[in-house]
Amino acid sequence: PQSFAATEAAIVQNTYPDPDAFPKMIWSTNYNRLAAGTMFTLFFAGKDFAPNCIINGVNIQDYLQDHFVNACAHLARRIHEAGDLENEVVMGWESMNEPNRGMTGYVDLTVIPKDSPL
């Protein structure tokens, strides 16, 4: 995160050099920038794009997906363990809000696709 402003890998308000001139953005502005694009790519296609990216003996895709699923399971378990929520309250949650394909499907990684403007 300390290099996001210099590299524009993500536009982040708390590291923007001139907060008063922070650009107008919508929720998906950073999707096609390097930081989010890389993480989505690793999450959904790490075995293909980064086969040698291994953490604790596990490929990055499996590592990220396992931790994500475990976090969702932890939330469900805590709701169950609370005892007074599971059958008394209507609760909704989704596993991932607005996922993105990252760089999967790019024909040429050196070219920003026309449907992914920065």
CA 7 – CA 21 distance, rounded (Å):
17
Residue 58 lies in a domain: yes
Q: Which of residues 105 and 40 earns the better pLDDT score?
A: 40
pLDDT confidence of residue 35: 94
Which range marks the domain in which residue 99 is found?
31-113
Residue 99 lies in a domain: yes
Residue 65 lies in a domain: yes
pTM more than 0.85: no
Tell me the pLDDT tens digit for each residue of 43-71.
999 999 999 999 999 999 999 999 999 99
Cβ neighbours around 44 below 10 Å, total: 19
Residue 56 lies in a domain: yes
Question: DSSP secondary structure string, 92-118?
Answer: ---S-SS---TTTT-S-TTS--TTS--
Residue 8 lies in a domain: no
pLDDT confidence of residue 118: 62
CA 32 – CA 12 distance, rounded (Å):
14
Average model confidence (pLDDT) across the chain: 89
> Structurally, how many domains does the chain consist of?
1
Please give the single-letter amino acid code of residue 83.
G
Tell me the pLDDT tens digit for each residue of 65-84.
999 999 989 988 998 898 88
